[in-house]
Structure 1
Amino acid sequence: MAKSSRKLTVIRQSKLKLLVAIGVISIGAILPSQSIAAPSTVSNKSSTVAQLFYPPANDQQIIAVVGQGHASVPADLARIAVALSNYTKENYERDPQKPHKEEPEPEPITESALNDILKSLKATGIPNDKIKVTIEPLKGRNAMIEIEIAKPTKEQVARIVKSVNSAVPQKTERNKIQLENVYVQYTVNNCETVETAAYLAAVKDAKLRANALAKSMGVNLADVPSIAELPFLGRFWTACSQDPDITASIFPRRALPYNPDALSEVELYREIAVTYRIR
């Protein structure tokens, strides 16, 4: 019985150590912009945990920092998705237990019902082959109009959105087509330029932080023994990811709802961890 009790104690201690390690890792993950000065007295065990977020520098005295970089370039292409529906908010929120006036089922959305919108889009100069219409095949309750524009400008996108808003057909007893939202996604043909600029900005930011720490400690920076990219900032979906499908992108919010103040640019963020030896 005593032996079993000792085993239980060891297991509990192991679990406690694991939870403490997870806690340390979690704190580091939510504070990626913090800077750390690491003395030479750090134990090997502590260094192992720290290396999950900062490149190792053996037992040297170091300053470890995180640099964050941002860069933007004009977009080569804009994809605009116009989401339409004929199923109103009242249809979804109706309480079946309460008496209500029966309304006729709205007519399914058809391409001909969207003619006014399509004509309005073509009047802004968009060719037919850059407009795609997709209608829900079952009951025709939802439709999507996708538009592609090369070398877009903020003003051009605004004109297109305005033309859609003005061309949505008037509601009738059977025709209840309404504009749900307009989504815009900007992309570039080659991401190398903007990615390089974002990394350079991150390196510059790391050096700025390290210099400030070194000055406050009365030490000088030496060489850089290690550098690593961090996965926290800008490593989710970006315009440089391998998914050009705007329709599939709307639901995980990869394409953003139209913002009239947004520039027609592609933005990237990069984050790196850098260690500097000190002397």
Structure 2
Amino acid sequence: MKKVLFTLCLAVFLFTTSCASNNLGESVKNTGRSTTPVQQDAKWAVKWWMPRHKEKLAQKEKLGDVQVVFLGDSITHAWDRQKKTWEKYYAKRKALNIGFSGDRTEHVLWRLDNGAVDGINPKALVLMIGTNNAGHHQEASAETAKGIKAILQELRVKLPETKILMLAIFPRGKDDNDKLRKLTMGTNEIIKTYADNKDIFYMNINDIFLDDKRVLHKNVMRDLLHPNNEMYPKWAEAIEPKLAELMEE
């Protein structure tokens, strides 16, 4: 009984300490839809989502000393198709890609609750999530940001030594007048305040996707949401200096 109480107190202490050391404040988990962990239940995803989760748990064990993690939705999931760029930048770092198509913040929280990063101690984690909160629910920017905060809080507890590189949600829609882009831009304005430049770092690389009038073209994102294959090397190049710095390379 004493051991159980000690473990519980230690967990509370670690969580409180991790939140106090950054800009995240008190726990927001389970305070709304975006912060309440749930499995993915979209009809098009249910057949592969749980098998992928189990596959990634096994891959994590096989990789062993994982040094960098990519966590997100379909935009991150698509790194699985970028073999050449992945090999160039991330394979040598024993990188783990746990991007899942269709995921919203609540699905990422479920995966974190169910072993996604357990048992590893990566030097860095690259996080981008939230566009599906806007796209599926037209969720208010503040609610999506709260879901991202819950993810960051969870990561700080599970990976206290890992530097988190939080990316601004990538642009979507034709221009800044697009309704969904307005939502994600609003979220970005909030989540950048979560960075403390000690454990959590914020980076906005969205200019690489837009022209000088902030228009998104289909030769960059064919559906005005998912980057085309040619953009993944540019993404890697854009974050590489900061990622290398965080990994102390």
Q: TM-score of the superposition, structure 2-length normalised?
A: 0.26
Q: Which has the higher helix share?
A: 2
Specify which structure has the bigger relative contact order, considering alpha-carbon pairs within 8 angstroms and separated by 6 or more residues.
Answer: 1
Q: Higher strand share goes to which structure?
A: 1
Larger Rg: 1
